[in-house]
Amino acid sequence: MFRPILPIALSALLLALPALAAGGPEPSYRLDCVPDVGRSESLADWLRLRLLLRGFDEETDHPTLRLCFRIDAQQRLIPSPGMGVGYGGWGGRGWGGGYWGYGAWWAYDVEMVPVASLVAQRPDGSVYWQGSQDIADGSAAALQDALRRLVERLPLD
């Protein structure tokens, strides 16, 4: 026998409306660590302003997230093209020669790249979100740009 689904769906929606209207708790945070770059107090104030503009409220007693901002250095392997040994010359039939490339284990350089990272933890210690962003150069503007991008990527829910 056929039963209409529409009344069941409407009743489920009506029952869920109070929960949807209440929403979840407002996202709050506590800054656990801020990069030590000389004027860390002003950087902490700048981060607080960015988080407030993003919709987070600061709460030191019972925050929903504990935020830790850090600056690290990551090692990256950069390929070095064109390494090898070869010979060549013009012969009777045109250009001739040979080329032996070194193995891939010799064709890379190691580069240290500064990276800003953010780890957001729940009150129980589990990691809610983590991310990293390259710092273009050593300037304060590049650091603020990397931290701003991390705050923009931090999910609200």
Give 77: exposed, middle or buried? Use CB within 10 Å, 0-12, 13-18, 19+.
exposed
Tell me, what's the pLDDT at 138? 76
> Which tens digits make up the pLDDT trace of 63-110?
999 999 999 999 988 776 655 566 666 666 666 666 555 555 556 778
> Lowest-confidence range among 20-24, 46-50, 55-59, 66-70?
20-24
Per the structure block, which two tokens stand in for 76? 């990256």
List the helix and strand counts (H, then E) for the chain.
3, 7
CB 55 within 8 A of CB 27: yes
Question: What average pLDDT score do residues 31-50 get?
Answer: 85
pLDDT category, 20, cuts 50, 70, 90?
A: very low
Q: What does pTM read for this prediction?
A: 0.67
CB 32 within 8 A of CB 67: yes
Tell me, what's the pLDDT at 139? 83
CB 30 within 8 A of CB 59: yes
Domain range annotation of the chain: 26-77+114-153
Backbone φ and ψ for 4, nearest 5 degrees, come out as -70, 135
CATH code of domain 26-77+114-153: 3.30.160
Tell me, what's the pLDDT at 19? 46
pLDDT category, 8, cuts 50, 70, 90?
A: low
Closest CA to 26 of 69, 65, 67: 65
Alpha carbon separation from 104 to 12, 91, 113 (Å, rounded): 61, 31, 22
Which carries the bigger pLDDT value, residue 13 or residue 134? 134
Tell me, what's the pLDDT at 32? 92
3-state secondary structure of 59: coil
